[in-house]
Amino acid sequence: VSGKEARLARLVEPILPGLEQMRVAMIAQLSEDSGAVRDMTDHIARFHGKQLRGSLLMLVAKAHGVYTEEHPTVAAIVELIHLATLVHDDVLDGAEVRRRVACVNERWDNQIAVLLGDFLYARAFGLSTELSSRLCSRLLSDTTRRLCVGEIEQSTLRYDFELDQKHYERIAAAKTGTLYAAACELGVRYPGGDVESGTAMRAFGEEIGLAFQIIDDCLDVVGDQEVVGKSVGNDVDDGKVTLPVLRTYALADEPTRARIRDAYTLPEIEDRRGALREVCDLGPGTDYALARADELVGRALGRLRDLPASPAREALEGIGEFVLERRW
């Protein structure tokens, strides 16, 4: 266990029983009579994510004093949807490794991964019908829609080196921020709180999620695959021009810009990420992106200001810091 993992484990102490219930609920949904499916669900159980979204959901509820016995189930639904999106995302990205384990598309194939993602998604929504309130399914169906729109937009904007930062952030907020936002909103609103009570926590979640995605995008271009634990360089291979590269491109002279475009597009290049790192200095662009992630987390933490002091509130603050220090 790395120091960071131990730190995260300490942060989630206020919700330890809830996390255990959440995991039990997830495992129950992964079970299936088919031996073939069982092999696959056993495999993805090894992904052992950080489960930040489910944790945030329960911590937000605790910090507001509105935690119910249904919150762990809601958290399990969020985590199952997250898992479904990752299995699909690895197909889109042609990724090989996630959380140090072979991706489903790699261990089996794309067909299987698409179907398994659908299976997980169906299980998540099946579980949401067991809840006493429809708020969870309503909010999460809207979230999944937005998340898909973000992915579709991102796909249509590949190889766009002039994409402005606002547009990039809108897409990152849609594909990653929305699920964090929904988790935090559900934390405070579930089972029936009004929209207003969720607004601040929604914004908190979106900012944390956007910061997470920006750091993820930095790691994809400058991170070490061994440390990150998942395939890196996918964005360059797929033509996704993310904030550290957009910023580097914007600051570069025309010959360097041409070399950046070449690194993304010349057919003979095998290691595109390596080529990109050779033709330009990604340092300032990455620093800029990391500073932006910092600013977003700062803004998010400001939204916790009026909450009474509690271990849960402290944990929310700690998770914000944790996201910034993420190197994997």
Closest distance to ligand FPP from the beta carbon of 206 (Å) = 13
Q: Which residues pair with 102 in a beta bridge?
A: 97
Angstrom distance (rounded) from CA 287 to CA 247: 10
The residue (of 96 and 151) whose beta carbon lies closer to ligand FPP is 151
Residue choice 92, 115, 250, 324 for contact with ligand FPP (CB under 6 A) = 92
Q: Out of 50, 62, 146, 175, which residue is the one contacting ligand FPP (CB under 6 A)?
A: 175
∠ CA(154), CA(204), CA(161), 5° rounding? 25
Distances (CA, A) of 255 to 135, 174, 246, 249: 53, 33, 15, 11
| Residue nearest Mg ion (C-beta atom) | 93
| Among the listed residues 41, 51, 85, 128, the single contact to ligand FPP using CB under 6 A | 85
| Minimum CB distance to ligand FPP, residue 238 (Å) | 8
- Tokens of residue 203, six digits: 């914004």
Per-residue DSSP letters for 160-228? -TT--HHHHHHHHIIIIIHHHHHHHHHHHHTTT--HHHHHHHHHHHHHHHHHHHHHHHHHHHHS-HHHH
According to the binding rule CB under 6 A, does residue 117 interact with ligand FPP? yes
Among 105, 128, 144, 248, which residue sits at the site for ligand FPP (rule: CB under 6 A)?
Answer: 144
Stretch that binds ligand FPP, among 83-91, 251-259, 279-287, 293-301 (CB under 6 A): 83-91
Q: Is 202 in the site for ligand FPP (CB under 6 A)?
A: no
Pick the closest to residue 191 from 313, 62, 74, 51 (CA basis).
74
Segment (H or E) for 290: helix 283-302
Q: Which residues bind Mg ion (CB under 5 A)?
A: 89, 93
Query: 125 vs 161, which CB is nearer to ligand FPP?
Result: 125
Choosing among ligand FPP, Mg ion, none, which partner's interface includes residue 153 (Cβ < 5 to 8 Å by kind)? Answer: none
Stretch that binds ligand FPP, among 19-27, 144-152, 184-192, 265-273 (CB under 6 A): 144-152
Residue where the block lists tokens 């039990």: 24
Site string for ligand FPP, 263-302 (x = CB under 6 A): ----------------------------------------
Q: Is the Cβ of residue 55 or residue 144 nearer to ligand FPP in the bound state?
A: 144
Cβ closer to Mg ion: 229 or 318?
229
- Shortest Å, Cβ 52 to ligand FPP: 12
Helix (H) or strand (E) holding 63: helix 52-63
Nearest to 74 by CA among 2, 25, 115: 25
300-319 binders of ligand FPP (CB under 6 A): none
Q: Give the C-alpha separation, 97 to 19, whole Å.
A: 25
Give the position of tokens 């662009």.
285
Binding site for ligand FPP (CB under 6 A): 84-85, 88-89, 92-93, 95, 117, 121, 144, 147-148, 151, 175-176, 216, 230
